[in-house]
């Protein structure tokens, strides 16, 4: 903020630096807590890797391809 007082141009800082630093720290801490809670709402399945063999479904395959994939997965598991 620039003030003109008695013909002298002064530049004043509208923020007290000590209180601004404390306020900034509290704002950052609040944001940190908010984003931590936000990340906890995202299920782990969206960001943890998954083995392709552990998937119980075969998306994007034709009916015949699904049947073959199921047979192979059962052979690997020793079920059938």
Average pLDDT (7-18) is 61
- Residue 67 in domain: yes
**Residues in a beta bridge with 2:** 11
Whole-number pLDDT of residue 29: 93
What mean pLDDT, rounded, does the chain reach? 76
- Residue 5 in domain: no
Does pLDDT of 35 surpass 70? yes
Identify the domain containing residue 22 by its residue range. Answer: 17-77
According to DSSP, the β-strands at 8-11 and 2-5 are antiparallel
Q: Alpha helices, DSSP H only, in 1-80?
A: 17-40, 63-77
Whole-number pLDDT of residue 37: 95
Tokens for 50, please give them: 């998954």
Give dist(CA 72, CA 78) in Å, integer: 10
3-state secondary structure (DSSP) of residue 54: helix
Tokens for 17, please give them: 């630096």
Higher pLDDT, 75 or 39: 39
Give dist(CA 16, CA 2) in Å, integer: 16
pLDDT digits (tens, 9 = 90+) for 54-77: 666 667 788 888 888 888 878 876
Q: Say how many domains are in the chain.
A: 1
- Residue 29 in domain: yes
Whole-number pLDDT of residue 57: 66
- Residue 28 in domain: yes
- Residue 24 in domain: yes
């Amino acid at each position: 903020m620039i003030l003109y007082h008695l013909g002298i141009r002064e530049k004043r800082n509208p923020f007290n630096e000590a209180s601004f630093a404390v306020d900034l720290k509290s704002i950052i801490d609040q944001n940190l807590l908010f984003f931590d809670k936000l990340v906890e709402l995202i299920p782990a399945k969206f960001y943890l890797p998954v083995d392709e063999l552990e998937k119980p479904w075969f998306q994007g395959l034709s009916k015949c391809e699904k049947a073959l994939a199921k047979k192979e997965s059962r052979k690997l598991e020793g079920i059938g």
